[in-house]
Amino acid sequence: MDQTIIKNIVIVGGGTSGWMTAALLVKLFNKQLNITLIESDAIGTIGVGEATIPPLQIFNSVLGISETDFIKATQATYKLGIEFQNWHQQGEAYMHAFGNIGRDLGFTSFHHYWLSAQANLSQSNPSQANGSQYIANDFWQYSLNYQAAKHNKFQPIQTIAQAQMSGITHAYHFDAGLYANLLRQYSVQRGINRVEGIITSTELSTDGSIKSVTLQNGPCISGDLFIDCSGFSALLIEQALGVEYENWQHWLPCDSAYAVPCESTSPLTPYTKATAHHAGWQWRIPLQHRTGNGIVYSSQHMSDEQAKQHLLANLDGKPLAEPRKINFTTGRRVKQWHKNCVAIGLSSGFLEPLESTSLHLVQSAIIRLTKLFPRNGIQPQHIDEFNRQSQTEFEQIRDFIILHYHLNAKQSADNERGLWQQCRDMDIPENLQHKIDLFKATATVFRHQDELFTEAAWIQVMLGQGIIPEDYHPLTQAVSQDDLTDYLTNIRKVINTTVSQMPSHKDYIAAL
C-alpha cells in the first residue's frame, strides 16, 4: 500500500479549470498543501466558456466570493435558461428554463396535471388540440423562470411562500478571462505558487507515475499529485501517460466552432440562445460589456468559410474581433485519474456547450477530488471511484445533449442526408432510449443517482422536441375538472403577478 503523504500539488494550466482547481484546493486545504500552478502566456487559454448552470453559485459561495463582487469583476449577467430555436422544426422555439415548473401535488409532478388539463381541453375543443407546438407552448406559462426571461426581468426570489412555489433559479453568463483573473488573484493571495513558462518535458518514475515537469526556461518542478488542466493538449494525461480518449462523434457529430464577440444590444436578455442551423447551431451569450457568439458545426456538413459567414451574418451587433476557429472531438478520457495524475477541464473530455456544462464538469471534478483526496498515499480505490463517478456524470450529460439532436423533425434543404436526418436515424445509448420511451408512453421521468439534470429539464426538452406523452398519472383523476382549472389558473396568476413586480434585468444589474 502506497504511503506517500500527498503534500506537493502541481497544477498544469492556468485556464478556467486550472484556476478553479487552485482556488478551491487552497481555500479548503489551506496550508496543508504546497500548490504550484504552471501556465504559459505564450500558449494562452481557449478563451471561451461564458455560460454556466446554477451550481456555480455554490462554488463561488464556498470560496467566499459574493455574488455582487463576482458580477462586477466578470461583467456577468444573469441566466434563467437556454432558448432553443429551430431545434425541433424551423420556426419553433422552446426553453430549458431552470427551476421547477408549476407546483407538484404530493408525489405527482405538475406536468401530469397539466397533461390531464390538455386532454380535457382537446376533448371539449378539438380545434385547440392541433399541433404539438401549441400544446407545448402552453407549458411554459407555468415556469416563473421562463416568464421572467421572456420579459427580460430579474430578481433573486427564493420562494413564493403564499403559493408554496419555488422562486427563481439562476446561473450566470460571464467573461471567462475575467473569471480566471479573479480566481488567480484569489489563489495567489492565499499562497499558491504561480510559475510562468512552457513545459517541454515530463519525467516519469519507474512505476510509471509522474515525477516532475521541466520548463523551457530551466526549472524542473516535482510533485506528489499532478492535476492536468492543460486543455485540449492533455499534456500529462495523454502525452505523458498515454491514457486513451473515447470518441463520441458518432452520436454528436459537430467537431468545429468559430467564436466572436460583438457589441451589446438592447434589451439585456437573461438567457442564452442556441439557434439551430442546417449543420449545427449558434450561441448567443449576453454579457454587460459585449455579447459572446459562436457557431458549432459538423465539418462534414459545412465548410469553415460557410460557418464563418453564417456566424457573422447572424450577429445582432457589430463584431469586435475576427472569428476564432476551435476544433474539438466530443468524448471523454477513459481514465480521468491515472497513477498520480488527475485530468480536469478540457484535458478530461469535451461535450459541446449546448447545455453549458463544461465548467460544471470542472467544478464537480474538483469537488470529487476533494472528497476522495488521499491522506496516506493514493490507493487504487481512490482512483477507481473517481473514474467511476466521472464516467457516469459524463455519460448522463452526453445523453441529455444527444436528446436535442436526436428528437428533431427538421427537413434537409436538399436531397442529401443532412446532419439532422443522420441524428434522427442514429442508434442512441440504451439509457437515453429508455428515458424517451418511458416519457412517451407514461409521461414519467426518473433521475438516476446524482444526475445533474432535473426532471423539469428533461420534460422541457422532450416536450420542446415534439414528444407529447400518450398518457399521464391516474392520480390526476382525483382532482375534479373545476379544481384542476382553478389550480392551473392560480399558478399562472401568481407567476404573472410576480414577474410584473420584478425589475428589468438591466436595472437589477445596474443597481448592484
Interface positions with ligand FAD (CB under 6 A): 13-18, 38-40, 43-46, 48-52, 176, 198-199, 229-231, 233, 235, 257, 259, 294, 326, 328, 345-346, 353, 356, 358-359, 362
Asked if residues 226 and 61 have their Cβ atoms less than 8 Å apart, the reply is no
Is the torsion defined by CA of 434, 440, 441, 447 positive or negative?
positive
Coil, strand, or helix at residue 164?
coil
Task: Rank residues 114 and 350 by Cβ distance to ligand FAD and give the closer one.
Answer: 350
Please report which helix (H) or strand (E) contains residue 358, including its range.
helix 358-371
In whole angstroms, the minimum distance from the beta carbon of 327 to ligand FAD comes to 9
CB-based contacts of 186: which residues, under 8 Å, 6+ apart?
23, 63, 65
Give 188-213 as a DSSP string: HHTT-EEEES-EEEEEE-TTSSEEEE
Q: 45-65 in b/e burial notation, b at 16+ Cβ within 10 A? A: bbebbbbbbbebbebbeebeb
Smallest separation, CB 48 to ligand FAD (Å): 4
Least distance in Å: CB of 196 to ligand FAD? Answer: 9
* Residue with Cβ nearer ligand FAD (157 or 399): 399
Q: Could you give the 3-state DSSP secondary structure of residue 478?
A: helix
Q: Which is nearer to ligand FAD, 15 or 99 (CB)?
A: 15
- For ligand FAD, which is the closer residue by CB, 83 or 113? 83
Q: Smallest distance from the beta carbon of 348 to ligand FAD, in angstroms? A: 8
Number of DSSP helices (H) and strands (E) in the chain, helices first: 15, 23
Is the preceding peptide bond at 267 cis, omega within 30 degrees of 0?
Answer: yes
The nearer residue to ligand FAD, 93 or 326, going by C-beta atoms, is 326
Residue 413: phi, psi to the nearest 5? -70, -30
Query: Which sequence positions are flagged as catalytic?
Result: 79
Helix axes 16-29, 176-189, angle to 10 degrees: 30
Contact 241, 251 (CB under 8 A): no
Run of H or E residues at 492:
helix 481-500
Q: Nearest 5°: phi and psi at 333?
A: -70, 130
Nearest Cα neighbor of 51 from 503, 470, 357 is: 357
Closest distance to ligand FAD from the beta carbon of 250 (Å): 19
Q: Which is nearer to ligand FAD, 85 or 155 (CB)?
A: 85
User: How near is the Cβ of 149 to ligand FAD at its closest, in Å?
Assistant: 17
Residue whose CB is less far from ligand FAD, 362 or 488? 362
Residue with smaller CB distance to ligand FAD, 326 or 409: 326
Contact yes or no for 13/231 (Cβ under 8 A) = yes
As measured in angstroms, the least distance from the Cβ of 140 to ligand FAD is: 23
CA 258 to chain centre: 19
Residues counted in the chain: 512
Smallest distance, Å, CB 453 to ligand FAD?
A: 15
Q: Provide the grid cell at 454.
A: 432535473
Q: Is the alpha carbon torsion for 73, 356, 384, 45 positive or negative?
A: negative
Distance in Å, CB of 231 to ligand FAD, minimum: 3
Q: Which residue carries 526556461 as its cell?
A: 217
Q: Which is nearer to ligand FAD, 294 or 418 (CB)?
A: 294
Contact between residue 20 and residue 30 where contact means Cβ atoms under 8 Å apart: no
What gap in Å lies between CA 11 and CA 188, rounded to an integer? Answer: 13
The single-letter code of the amino acid at 92 is E
Under 8 Å between Cβ of 273 and 85: yes
- Rounded to 5 degrees, what angle do the CA atoms 407, 461, 139 make? 125
